[in-house]
Copies of this chain bind each other. A is one copy, B any other.
Amino acid sequence: MVGGEPVLARAVRILSVFEPGRAELGVAEIARASGLHVATASRLVGQLVEQGLLTRTGSGRLRIGMRLWELGQRASPTLTLRAAALPFLGDLHAVVGHHVQLGVLDGDEVIFLERLSAPGAVVNLTRIAGRLPLHVSSSGLVLLAHAPPEQQERVLAAPLERRTPATVTDPDRLRVLLARVRRDGHVVTEGHVHPDATGVAVPVRGRDGDVVAALSTVQPHDGRARTLVPALRAAAHGIARAHGGKDTAPD
């Protein structure tokens, strides 16, 4: 460790700078965006390249390296859920069009493991490996409704971001909504994330009955949302069956 902040924390700060639309950066840009001195950034970038976590392009700029993807990919037990879910997401997508996605809880957010989208589908602010606050999205509401009580209280006690006039940000109204999600086994959110989009989400359960993920669709307000609940539920059952509560990576 040099100075106050561990090398690892600085390295992660550098890696975090690479975002969709900022896939390729020079060292000076990396230093600026990560708040590190150019000399520090340059030394760490060199080490990250050596480890394959970053890669240099022909013009000497930097990109996330395949090794980083490989390390993240190959061992995470959550990804076996994604693999089990993929055929069901495909079937569902063939029927509902627009967007079909699978999200899991990570910290106090939902992170999306997979998303299938049709060309010309309605606006959808989620993306693969993207995150949304739990109270905002249909997937997040399903995951929050089944999260431990102390996590629910922590999320309800924190400031609740309003994305649209329809986003539920009042803790008491949110408590009622979460109880309804548990009772109904699904949630339909009209315009909570974006005014033009309706989300429908259902829980996906693991072997012990715990909710391990949320399966959702995003589509226009065409009144069709509620009719999709049975298809979503059937797909969620299929995913649970295919995943079989297995939590080690397949070969």
Additional pairs, 13, CB under 8 Å, beyond known A1-B2, A8-B44, A19-B249: A8-B48, A9-B47, A9-B51, A18-B71, A18-B74, A19-B74, A23-B248, A63-B76, A64-B72, A66-B111, A68-B68, A70-B131, A74-B128
Q: How far is the CA of A48 from the CA of B198 in the complex (A)?
A: 38
User: Which residues of A come within 8 Å of B, CB atoms?
Assistant: 1-2, 6-9, 11-12, 15-16, 18-24, 44, 47-48, 50-53, 63-79, 83, 86-87, 90, 104, 106-107, 111, 116, 127-131, 247-251
Closest to A71 in B: B15
| Bound Cα distance from A75 to B2, whole angstroms | 28
CA distance A52 to B52 in the complex (A): 19
Q: Do B248 and A24 touch (CB < 8 A)?
A: yes
Give the CA-CA distance A66 to B8 in the complex, in Å.
16
Q: How many copies does the complex hold?
A: 2
Knowing A1-B2, A20-B250, A129-B69 are in contact, say whether A63-B75 is a contact too (CB < 8 A): yes
Task: Write out the residue numbers on chain B whose beta carbons fall within 8 Å of the beta carbon of A16.
Answer: 71
Would you list the 10 A-B pairs with minimal beta carbon distance, nearest first?
Answer: A69-B72, A18-B75, A72-B72, A73-B129, A20-B249, A68-B72, A7-B7, A74-B129, A64-B75, A66-B106
Q: Give the docked Cα–Cα distance between A18 and B53 (Å).
A: 16
Residues on the B chain within 8 Å of A52, using CB: 107
From the candidates B6, B20, B76, name the one contacting A74 in the complex (CB within 8 A): B20
**Closest chain B residue, CB of each to CB of A125:** B251
Chain B residues positioned under 8 Å from A12 (CB to CB): 51, 53, 67, 71
**A251 — which chain B residues lie within 8 A by C-beta?**
20-21, 127
Smallest CB–CB gap between A61 and chain B, Å?
Answer: 12
**Given the contacts A11-B8, A90-B90, A249-B23, A64 and B76 also touching, CB distance less than 8 Å:** yes
Q: Is the CB of A20 within 8 A of B248?
A: yes
In Å, the complex CA distance between A128 and B51 comes to 20
**A194 to B101 alpha-carbon distance, docked (Å):** 35
Q: Which of the listed residues A75, A78, A251 has the most CB atoms from chain B within 10 Å of its own CB?
A: A75
Q: Given A6-B47, A8-B8, A51-B8, A20 and B69 touching (CB < 8 A)?
A: no
